[in-house]
Amino acid sequence: MFNLLTAEKLKIIKSRKMWFVLGLVIFLAVYLPINDYSMHINYGKIMNLRRDTVINGATAIMIAKKANGFILVIFGAFVSLYIGEEFQYGTIRNALSLGRSRTKYYLSKLVTAEIITLFLTLLLTILGVSIYTLCFGFGQIEGFSNVWEFWTKVFFAELLLTLAATATSVALTFIVRNTSLALITTFVYTLLVAFLPGIFNRYESLSFLPEWFVQTWLIYTDFASSGIYAQIPQMIVVSLVTIVVSSAIGMMVFQKSDIK
């Protein structure tokens, strides 16, 4: 397992995809506050926390929420390309021919993808807080007297939800085992989940289902609301269940798949 993770680290360092995604994350972290500041200066736009999600350095802990649409697509596409090319070019056979178990191989890809997700989300947040502070000042979060407690809980919830979304992308890629199909499947899955609340809320008996999809929480949750603390335990449960279930399904299908 350690050898597999070491090999993955070397692949990631040399991967142009990784550097491209890193550049996109840095671009988002710089563009979002600069664009808000430009709109504020040039057009007199008044920042509103509910509408804009982030209005100063204190609230920039939610920049991952503000950019969640881009993050879900970018991270999903990266995972699809990063893992899908192993099947596309047949390089997966090299690892399996050396006696590596499929479970360890799957876990090495999952752990690597999650570490990258953790790093990029942390980088996005740190840059977001810094640049929003430069543009709008640090300020405060309305309704929360303890900024550090708010930051810790909200960031942990956002991070877990994003890690769970990445785990789902990993599972989907191992299930379809093709770069193009993985890209399409991940995009369609994310798009469909975004519309789940509107579909299932029409039926009272199914209205609870959207709450079991991490994308629903990332897209629709108001992390600045005073009742957010009460929802965090449910987010944690949904995230952990998603990681476990998606990984179990992904590994089960991968174990039975024919690698040509």
Q: What is the DSSP letter of 90?
A: S
DSSP 140: -
Model confidence over 170-218: pLDDT tens digits? 999 999 988 889 999 998 888 888 777 666 667 666 666 778 888 888 8
What is the Cα–Cα distance from 226 to 222, expressed in whole angstroms? 9
C-beta separation of 84 from 182 below 8 A: yes
pTM of the model: 0.91
Locate tokens 């390309």: which residue? 81
Burial class (CB in 10 A: 0-12, 13-18, 19+), 162: buried
Longest dimension (CA), the chain: 63
Encoded tokens for 55: 């209005």
Residues 7, 105 contacting (CB under 8 angstroms): no
pLDDT in tens, 111-140: 999 999 999 999 999 999 999 999 999 988
* Helix residue spans in the chain (DSSP H): 2-14, 16-43, 49-52, 63-66, 68-88, 92-97, 102-136, 147-176, 179-200, 214-220, 228-256
- Output Rg (C-alpha) for the chain, integer angstroms: 19
Q: What is the pLDDT of residue 170?
A: 95
Instruction: Scan for tokens 């629709």, then name that residue.
Output: 220
